[in-house]
Structure 1
Amino acid sequence: MKRIFFASAAIAVALWALPVHAAEKLVVSTWGGSWKDLLEKTVAKKFKEQTGADVEFITGGTIDRLNKAKLAKGNPESDITFTTSHVGWLYANDGLYEQLDMSKIPNAKSLVDQAKISPYHIGSWAYVYTIGYRPDMVPAGMTFTSWNDLWNPALKGKISAPDFDASHLVVVSAKLMGGDAASWEKGSDKLKALKPNFKAYYANDAASQQLLQNGEAPVQVMLSMNAYHIASQGVPVKVAMPKEGAVLGIDTIGIMKGTKNADLAYKFVNIMLDPAVQTEVATLKKGSPVVTNAKLADDVAKLPGVFTTPEQWNKEALIIDHKLRAEKTGEWRKWFTENVIN
């Protein structure tokens, strides 16, 4: 009996001494703040429930994360990356993304065509950059039915726009002058003529929201999600849908080349496109789901800039070719800084 006891004790000690393997972990690169919170509450939560694997987030700015990924090429810090559609092309062009095996992403069969960005990255949610304004701080009765309305002399010193991405106004100005993204120079003089109406330029979401909240710049070229966020806090903001279309923005997801967790990465991407997750994301952020089988409540679906039908996607979204935008963003930003901001 004693020999059996001691043998059992020895086995127990040996088992106790074995290394404990940590749970599997997927590392996701994304923006911080509310974007990280959004992913934690939605796709990461469901991913943990379905796989048992943990999710670790690496956060930072769009270009900062791209530069870090370039330095770590071949041995990526993250397994998954969220970024904008056009910056995603910069990842792809630098060989930082895996080419996606769509057979491993069954939920992708419901992707809207506009979210099929490249063989390397696909949409995760959508929004628009459009005109947001304070009706209480612009001339009585003023509305914005066209992008041309920004040039109204009554708006002198009242407009703000992002300084980090000039593509929205560059392409809009070109379109108003009969051009497009490829012939953007057609709108250059028109865009220069908007300079007197600018009050400020913003570098991030927080600054964008503050300019409208405090009324410093009561008209803004802005991310629709930001407008709806401050409206939920009681700020009287309206979101316009110009007849020329609002500039479509699609944030995307890609799998990093060299990941050691490819199977988990594909499961995460597939869960991102789950219709229930898409509904939750769109509801929380007041954006557009990128799958056709997500169902939104009427109060969300009716918001300007939230697309739920093929007709809306086709008629209300002003789409800048994502690959061309990636190639031109630096040039457009330089031109905008030199000719409008300065």
Structure 2
Amino acid sequence: MLGKINLTTDGRKWIVGLALALCVVVMGIGVTSAQADGVLKIGVYGGYFKDSFDKHIFPDFTKDTGIKVESVAEPTGEAWLVQLEQAARAGMAPADLSMMAQGPMLRGQRTELWAPLDLKLIPNHKFLLPQHVHKYPDGRVDGIGAVSWYITLVSNTDEFKTAPASWADMWQDDKKNKLGLLALASNSFLLEITAKTFFGGDDILNSKEGIAQVLDKLAALKPNVKLWYRDEGQFQQALQSGEIPMGQYYHDVAGLAAADGHPVRSTFPKEGGVLDSGSWALSKASKMSKEAHIFINYMCQPHIQAKLSLKVGTAPTVRREVTGLTDAEFASVSSDIAPIIPRYDLYTGELSDWVNQKWTEMVTE
């Protein structure tokens, strides 16, 4: 789990990047000297998340391989992507490897920012769940799953004595004005949730007509929504108090709230939780490809993924049966129910502007 941190701010914001504190990275400074010294520069989400890697991951990697690591606190999303692209045009890499969210991974493909990875040099990729091997459209591998986390259906146990079984419960009449949902199409993944729950899967999202049908179903949810939230802390406080007794939230943080005695439960609906993730991506400007491959292979080891689950609170990117986690340990971060995988193409591809416009018009306005 994410440790004893401020549940309303630090834990999830550093991991997901919904409200990251931006750090200033001066591009190019120290890059040449770091490479000359054989230091692998690795960008990870800042704050508690970076602190956890600095404490639990990087020292053991250096001890096991002899490769020195310099960690770089990165913002997620567009800010870090822009810095990497600008630096790459100058032949420099503020970080050799970066932990990238899936939207920026796809956007980076447009400029071929990511150096292709050689799976023969990453034999431990055999342990990965298939969705954690990220590829260019032509099949070249450009990313390997670093960490993942779940969005689930959360509820206040004082207000709802019985756990909800399905995402469809949010549409029920007794939920009027009782839901808190993430405000954006691209971070709530409610299009995918609705498609899986009512339309048998996400194939319906392959066309404008299909997306419009899903949006119509989502629009029917509006009377039940009390808060479309951007501030996680605002929703969490309302969830804990019972003011907003149901909604979608991050499984690990909800678990911490419950462990601290708050009347909060996190449920994996029968349709699955939403599995979001970050990938290791290698800048095309990096001169440390060999060392980067060694690090990625190291991170794909089942016991390392188990350590991340126990120390950082992320869901393993490898198959459950190889992790050695107990049922309780696994349940604290993940589920055996097949997950809902976000359709990142909807938010980065040619339909992205249209999707965002229709989302605002039909759902959140």
Normalising by structure 1, what TM-score? Answer: 0.81
1:64 positional shift: 2.0
Per the alignment, in what secondary structure is the counterpart of residue 100 of structure 2?
strand
Corresponding letter in the other structure for 1:60: P
2:325 aligned residue (283, 296, 319): 296
Equivalence for 1:270: 297
Matched residue, 2:108: 91
1:36, CA displacement in angstroms? 1.6
- CA positional deviation for 1:206: 4.7
Shift of 1:279: 0.6
Task: Tell me the residue number matched to 1:143.
Answer: 163
Quote the residue 1:79 is aligned against. 96
* 1:159 counterpart residue number: 179
Q: Confirm or deny that 1:306 pairs with 2:334.
A: yes
Report the equivalent of 1:65: 80
Tell me which residue corresponds to 1:338: 361
Aligned-partner residue type, residue 92 of structure 1: Q
Counterpart residue number, 1:8:
none
User: In structure 2, how many angstroms separate the alpha carbons of the residues matched to 1:142 and 1:133?
Assistant: 9
Deviation of the 1:214 alpha carbon: 4.7
Query: Closer, same or farther in 2 for the Cα pair 1:266/1:214, shift >3 Å?
Result: farther
Residues 180, 246 of structure 2: 8 Å contact kept: yes
Moved more, 21-30 or 276-285: 21-30
* CA positional deviation for 1:211: 4.3
Matched AA of 2:129:
V
The one-character-per-residue Cα deviations of 1:69-110 (angstroms, maximum 9, x if unpaired) are 233333332111112234322222331111111122222122
Q: Post-superposition shift, 1:192? A: 1.1
Alpha-carbon separation, structure 2, partners of 1:30 and 1:216 = 35
How far apart, CA to CA, are the structure 2 residues paired with 1:233 and 1:23? 45
2:295 maps to a residue whose letter is F
State the distance in 2 between where 1:45 and 1:204 align: 34
Which residues of 2 match residues 1-342 of structure 1 at below 5 A? 24-49=38-63, 50-74=65-89, 75-118=92-135, 119-136=141-158, 138=159, 140-164=160-184, 165-166=186-187, 168-178=189-199, 180=202, 181-182=205-206, 183-203=210-230, 206-207=233-234, 209-292=236-319, 293-303=322-332, 306-307=334-335, 312=336, 315-323=337-345, 326-327=348-349, 331-342=354-365
CA contact 2:76–2:100 (8 Å) conserved in 1: no
- SS state of the match for residue 88, structure 2? coil
Alpha-carbon displacement from aligned partner over 1:11-48 (angstroms, at most 9, x marks no partner): xxxxxxxx9x9954322223222322332233322223
Determine the C-alpha separation between the residues in 2 that align with 1:84 and 1:159.
Answer: 27
Q: Retained in 1: the 8 A contact 2:50–2:73?
A: no
CA spacing shift, 1:237–1:274, aligned 2, 3 Å: same
CA contact (8 A) 1:135 1:142 kept: yes
Matched letter for residue 128 of structure 2: L
Q: 1:79 to 1:203 in 2, by over 3 A?
A: farther
SS in 2 for 1:269: helix
TM-score (norm. length: structure 2): 0.76
Long gaps (5+) in structure 1: 1-18
Whole-Å Cα distance in 1 between the matches of residues 214 and 38 of structure 2? 52
Distance 2:317 2:123 in 1: 14
- Residue type of the alignment partner of 2:334: V
Give a deviation string over 1:120-157, Cα, whole Å, max 9, x none. Answer: 01212322222112111x3x434311111111232233
Change (3 A) 1:116 1:246: same
Percentage identity across paired residues of the two chains: 26
RMSD: 2.7
CA distance in 2, matches of 1:257, 1:240: 41
Change (3 A) 1:224 1:285: farther
Contact 1:286 1:306 in 2 (8 A): no
Over 3 Å counting, the alpha-carbon distance change for 1:39 and 1:214 in structure 2 is farther
Contact 1:105 1:269 in 2 (8 A): yes
Task: Tell me how far apart the structure 1 counterparts of residues 187 and 87 of structure 2 sit (CA, whole Å).
Answer: 29
Q: Report the Cα distance in structure 2 between the residues aligned to 1:100 and 1:33, rounded to whole angstroms.
A: 28
Please report how far the alpha carbon of residue 174 of structure 1 lies from its aligned counterpart in structure 2 after TM superposition.
2.8
**Contact 1:205–1:226 (8 Å) recurs in 2:** no
Letter in 2 for 1:95: E
Task: Give the residue type in structure 2 aligned to 1:160.
Answer: G
Structure 1 62/186 Cα, relative in aligned 2: closer, same or farther at 3 Å?
A: same
1:324 offset after TM fit, Å?
A: 5.0
Task: Report the Cα distance in structure 2 between the residues aligned to 1:40 and 1:211, rounded to whole angstroms.
Answer: 34
Whether the aligned pair in 2 keeps the contact of 1:278 and 1:291 (CA below 8 Å) is yes
Structure having the higher Rg? 1
